[in-house]
Amino acid sequence: MQKHSIEIKGSNFTFLVLYLKNNNIDLINKSLYKKTQECPNFFKNAPVIVNISKICNIDDWEKIRKIIISHNFFIIGVNGCQNDILKKNIIDSGLPVLSENKHNTNHNNNIDTIYSSHINFLKTNKKNIVNKIEKTHIIDIPVRSGQKIYAKYADLIVINNVSAGAELVADGNIHVYGLVRGRVLAGANGDTTRKIFCTGLFAELVSISGEYWLSDQIPSEFIGKSAQIYLKNKFLTINPLG
């Protein structure tokens, strides 16, 4: 029996969504520079979806595309486009136009970057929560930049360091007994009771059931310290561990 050379399946990826609020190229460039300087390791070589739903038209899409790329983002698609001519320009530039996920947003900046795809899905689909935790995944080697570990229906324990650019995702709790500099997402199936425990907190992003903090939102007194992170009254809360 001949084996198939390819297989196409659905999967679960996390992406940044870059919301453009106007078509002023200088403002976009300045805002991108400011945003990437806040968390350079987090945004470096990050794949992004560009949302242009707040813009009626873009006169020079190619310039905007090049500016975004110049700040070391990889554009994987564009959504929110309502203009047929602009759609053609985007497709001609080699990018797909994606269907938009409808959800309410309230943005205050020229550019607002949201750790989305997965996180916004959680916030709008909590009725589909899966509470079953089957087993615990234990990782005892360093988690390198670019690696993603997903513990489905399970807790995740890492007995080593987690590098910047790495990603830990678990439907259950996440424990890191080492330094964590990457992204940590617990309760990934929407379970709000899950927690993150770590002994050296330097994370680029922490999330419980879709509620998240970037590194600059984590209280400074906990940076580099042992901590536990959980949801209390739907808000992220952090306390010393032990």
Q: Give the pLDDT confidence of 87-103 residue by residue, as tens digits.
A: 999 999 999 998 754 44
Query: Among residues 90, 116, 142, which one ends one of the domains?
Result: 116
Asked if 154 contacts 162 with a C-beta cutoff of 8 angstroms, the reply is no
pLDDT at position 28 is 92
- Given this model, what pLDDT does residue 12 score? 54
One domain for residues 97 and 157: no
Mean pLDDT by runs of 10 across the 242 residues of the chain is: 68 74 90 80 78 86 93 90 89 86 43 47 49 78 89 92 91 94 90 94 91 90 95 93 80
Contact 40, 70 (CB under 8 A): no
Looking at residue 114, its pLDDT comes to 40
Alpha helices in 4-160 (DSSP H): 25-38, 40-43, 61-70, 84-92, 118-124
Instruction: Give the model's pLDDT for residue 3.
Output: 67
Is 133 in the same domain as 109?
Answer: no
pLDDT reported for residue 41:
63
Q: What is the dihedral of CA 50, 61, 73, 114, to 10 degrees?
A: -20
**Same-domain pairing of 108 and 144:** no
Q: Residues 134, 106: one domain? A: no
pLDDT on residue 116: 45
Q: Residue 108 has what pLDDT?
A: 42
Tell me which residue range forms the domain holding 62.
16-116
Longest dimension (CA), the chain: 62
Q: Quote the number of domains for the chain.
A: 2
Q: Are residues 137 and 230 in the same domain?
A: yes
Pairing of strands 227-232, 205-208: unpaired
pLDDT at 152: 86
Predicted pLDDT of residue 223: 95
Indicate which CATH number applies to the domain containing 147. 2.160.20.70
Considering the domain boundaries, does residue 2 fall inside one? no
pLDDT at 100: 57
What's 63's domain CATH number? 3.30.70.260
The three-state secondary structure class of 139 is strand
With CA atoms as reference, report the closest residue to 239 among 188, 231, 194.
231
**Residue 222 to residue 224: CA distance in whole angstroms:** 6
